[in-house]
Structure 1
């Protein structure tokens, strides 16, 4: 028997479950940057192991989760922006003020998160991207998807052109009798793809040291992320994916309004077309020995497959929700999704204490495959605590703080009686 999707308070089990799934899946890739020197995220030969189980962990994650879970989470953020604006109509402070207050406080939380917990924070990017998308929330849904696809296509074009330009600069500098200007141009451009000498040692010393050592190392990485990497790549990608998410929500994708055959078609495209294409890209990177220019060039093309595989993952889970199967797991995922903000931040708190020198000191000491044990432990924690917490409280702890700051008034927190969770901030 199919499960009921909408619950009291106009929550959608389908959206919550997919969001919970996404926040769990994001950790599969984030764990690499949390526990190993940063460039290991792209190149397993840099750190974390590149043979046996470690290589397979890199390969499988790159095909199924790298950027895909973040894409899904980002599309859901766009969907939530529309949903929350709809709910804010006719109630103070109104849709616009509610949204922009949410983005302001999300930015504040994100900055704290980036500099004190996890330099790979996505909240600051979401807060900035959220400023751009809100005025377009009422566009025709298909136009929203079209805009999102156009933004993502433009980003892909930019990255492919830049990758080809880097190769041309390298070839010019390596040619016999290369001019000093050609050599200098390559040396300057290569900084975007070749890790600076000493960076790995600095990260190992920083995150393996005391609190202040880790803070200095994290500050360096956060500034690099926010000022150099995010503006040309992460920010436009987030904007494009949020537009797609807004359109898909309004077309009923996330609320189970599509027929089964439409979800099955999405699964087929993601798993039978996009996933094999991504696997081919991963094979090319491996065959080229993770050479930086080759890695950079092939990674750019993953932008095509990310949203398609992400939506295939979502479609599988949405069909499970519709069927009423695995209800206990769906309930746990939905609870995790209702507390996605808290669970995202709690993940960083836990991993900071696991890896940094002022905690268990495991930074740089676990291989890529071994880190999956930490992932499993965090998953168990999230699935175990979210549902009991919501049985006693209206919101997750950080959701409550966010909502209270947005409304500038403490919101009800402790439940007087057992009942369904109300809408998140």
Structure 2
């Protein structure tokens, strides 16, 4: 193992990669925040006005979508390993520290989902985190084997669903599908297809009032945070285990030689990019049908999304190690130190911009133009995070989370 004995020092590489990941998460989430229907996965569902929008979708599919979530999940696993390690080194109970953090994270995730934005990932992380602790002492090879096993299980599970949906589609085309099969296809098309009626339903809801939106989340969507653990739990836990392994190897803390980072970055991108472009073309060739988008986004692309997430980590650490005194990198690292606040703060700002109880821009902006809002939010993250952390030990929500998890108000000011 290549981890150090440090118990309190911060790792610039870990913080900066986390900052990049939380910024990248917004480049994924902005579509779901601002556009209705299946537009998150399907460019034809809504917000497609020109080839520029198609190019924005293609870039997002190949380089961003699932890759930034994967990177964020990897960083979560690494951070969990670091917290557990430091708790043990300081004489605290690692189990008590870890589980207190996860249980309060679940509370934050539920608040986020029901009262701010339903694209929450914190509840999923908390649920996976409850299991993650049992892997803390495994060797790097064992962590890698478990991760591959979890990825394989997720791939096979969703692969079976995908094969079933293709079968149903063929039966529907030939007129032999029964009512249940047609209903399953309708649900897949609602989530992944190009269905104007579902887009209109979303427009009516999210251009409405706050009370109606919360009622929808606490009613019809009430179990979604727990269903998400079934839908994405295996892959997410696998990514967290990869994060633990990469932390233990020293990769995420900048301890590798530069040549090794270069090899990993080149190999990961070289392996992942060509298949992802081919999968994007497959969706286009099949007319972005709901079934093809489901298969492409949740099955075929999954192994390459994981590989590219690791490639992003290697590439970013090359940038960080090559420019350790960069003002921009220092600011990105501060974004990473306050990643919890920045993640939830982004949801608050963007829902106020797009939803009916705010500026009511939901469904009004095409896909490519939405990235102007992303750039503006990135600028806000970079502007506030560093000045705050020059005066305070933690971001606001990091301080609250830490205080609740430890059952004691933590010192916030640096003075």
> Shorter-chain TM-score category?
over 0.9
Cα 1:317–1:337, aligned 2, differ >3 Å: closer, same or farther?
Answer: same
Higher mean Cα deviation, 316-325 or 239-248?
316-325
Q: Which residues of structure 2 form unaligned runs of 5+?
A: none
Residues 12-411 of structure 1 aligned to structure 2 (within 5 Å): 12-49=11-48, 51-89=50-88, 91=90, 93-175=92-174, 178=176, 182-195=177-190, 198-219=197-218, 222-223=221-222, 225-228=224-227, 230-299=228-297, 300-324=299-323, 327-411=326-410
Question: How far apart are 1:219 and its partner, in Å?
Answer: 4.0
Residues 207-250 of structure 1: CA deviation (Å, up to 9, x unaligned): 1112112323444674363244x133211111111111111110
How far the C-alpha of 1:7 sits from its partner, in A, is 9.4
Deviation of the 1:409 alpha carbon: 0.9
SS at match of 2:38: helix
Residue pair 1:7, 1:13 contacting (<8 A) in 2 also: no
Alignment: residue pair count: 407
Q: Secondary structure at the match of 1:11?
A: coil
Distance of aligned partners of 1:163 and 1:396 in 2 relative to their CA distance in 1, 3 Å threshold: same
Deviates more, 1:25-34 or 1:154-163: 154-163
Deviation at 1:91, TM superposition (A): 4.0
Distance 2:350 2:158 in 1: 32
2-structure distance, mates of 1:45, 1:324 = 41
Q: Is the 8 A contact 1:75 1:241 kept in 2?
A: yes
How far does residue 332 in structure 1 lie from its aligned partner after superposition? 0.6
Provide structure 1 residue ranges, at least 5 long, that are not aligned to the other structure.
Answer: 417-425
The 2-side partners of 1:350 and 1:315 are apart by 31
**2: distance between equivalents of 1:398 and 1:203?**
30
What TM-score, normalized to structure 1? 0.91
Q: 2 CA distance for matches of 1:361 and 1:102?
A: 35
Secondary structure at 1:9 match in 2: coil
Describe the SS at the equivalent of 1:254: helix
Contact 1:17-1:335 within 8 A present in 2 as well: yes
